Amino acid sequence: RRGGATGATIRRDLATLSGLCSCALAWDYLDFNPVRSFDKRHIRESAPRTAYPSEAEVERIVARASPMVGRIIRFLAATGMRQEEAVSLEWSQVSIERREVRLTKTKTSSPRVVPLSEEALAILTGTPRHITGHHVFWNGDGRRYTHFASQYRNIAKRANVPWRCHDLRHRFASEFLMKTGDLAALQAILGHRTVTMTMRYSHLVTEHLHRAIAKLDTIPGTKQAGFAGEVAPAAA
């Protein structure tokens, strides 16, 4: 913590250590798991995100990138895919007809389908194909991009934009949820193993709160908002 690690990082490091100790316990190298006895209640994670890159900021980064790198940045913002999933994407995984991408190698090792919006579809159909290469996004002689996060970081710095490459994924998730309110669909698109991870964005969904407050207007015998314990005014 003194070195600057956040509560989220500390919790994940402890989870990794606990997994290692559980294996050591099963293999009789340890008599108990010491991490489980550590009180983590005082380690707080940061508040849910309420900000993400704006469209103007994304365009500022794209303006300072090469044409192909700019396509990758726009594609990440339009699909919510992870950086590695996008730069390793091959044409064999893309179906223009079905408007979807099938990912076979993911962070969670679970294949998933990513539907394509009009914007994402336009990016793919406008991307030139290499004569011999298989990757959608390529440079040089058809090779895929490597160390893309560091390339993005340098471009964003020149554009004076503070957001990380991974924040493009947060942008997609936030925009999607505010427009659709569909947590289950977002979980499937992002490839989250559990809905708990997707719930980080749930504070952006407020439609159900408005529906609940609207019920105050539908109390029998009243025409104005009120509380369930109020007595309706007598008719004139």
pLDDT of residue 143: 93
Asked whether residue 235 carries a pLDDT value surpassing 60, the answer given is no
- Secondary structure tally for the chain: helices H, strands E: 10, 3
32-52 mean pLDDT: 76
Task: Give the phi and the psi of residue 95 in degrees, each rounded to 5.
Answer: -120, 105
Sign of CA dihedral 55, 102, 65, 149: positive
User: Which residues are part of the catalytic machinery?
Assistant: 82, 107, 166, 169, 192, 201
Burial degree of 176 (CB within 10 A; 0-12, 13-18, 19+): buried
CA pair distance 172, 76, nearest whole angstrom: 8
pLDDT of residue 202: 81
Distances (CA, A) of 223 to 131, 142, 172, 220, 236: 69, 68, 40, 8, 14
**Which of 142, 146, 211 is closest to 181 using CA atoms?**
211
Structure tokens belonging to residue 91: 């044409």
User: What residue spans of the chain are helical by DSSP H?
Assistant: 7-26, 55-63, 67-79, 83-87, 118-125, 148-158, 167-180, 183-190, 195-198, 207-214
Percent of the chain with pLDDT over 90: 59
If one compares 11 and 40, the residue with the highest pLDDT of the two is 11
Predicted confidence (pLDDT) per residue in 13-28, tens digit = 888 999 999 999 999 9
Average pLDDT score, the chain: 87
Rounded to 10 degrees, what is the CA torsion of 215, 216, 221, 224? -130
CA pair distance 106, 214, nearest whole angstrom: 42
Helix orientation angle between 183-190 and 167-180, rounded to the nearest 10 degrees: 150
**Which of 58, 71, 62 is closest to 145 using CA atoms?**
71
pLDDT of residue 121: 97
206-228 mean pLDDT: 68
Asked whether residue 39 carries a pLDDT value surpassing 90, the answer given is no
CA pair distance 123, 120, nearest whole angstrom: 5
- Of the pLDDT bands very low, low, confident and very high (cuts 50, 70, 90), residue 115 is very high
CA pair distance 55, 193, nearest whole angstrom: 28
